[in-house]
Amino acid sequence: MYGRTCKGCSKPLVYKGGPEPKWCGRRCRNLFERYNLTLIEVEDRLSRQHGSCAICEKLLGFDVDGVATPQVDHCHSTGRVRGLLCRSCNTALGKLGDNPYRLERAKRYLSGNCEEPEREWL
């Protein structure tokens, strides 16, 4: 046994030669480098969200090791993590440019209350 643990999830690390490992795998490393989160913090947040997407409340899936695989939603301007989403909701926010105005327009459109845009006739 190597004696060190992963910075992201505290699993024991296996040393196979070369540079000393800090992470047990890509997921732990990416969470920390991209969002400054550990897998333990993600699991805690997921627990507070009752294991579901913060928007649609769909239960989030798990990978082959039984680890939840939510999408980490974050503000692209500040980097602040907003919550954990399913892939569909995270993609939808991205397609709307993380723009609250566009999201409100989409909401009104789906509710049938969207005003007809002005048309310019040639």
Distance CA 90, CA 93 (A): 5
Domain 26-110 part of CATH 3.40.1800.10? yes
Residues of the chain with pLDDT under 70: 1-2, 62-68, 113-122
The phi-psi region of residue 58 (left if phi > 0; otherwise alpha if psi is between -120 and 50; otherwise beta) is: beta
pLDDT in the model for residue 122: 46
C-alpha pair distances (Å), 38 with each of 35, 63, 86, 111: 9, 17, 19, 39
Q: Note the pTM of the prediction, 2 decimals.
A: 0.74
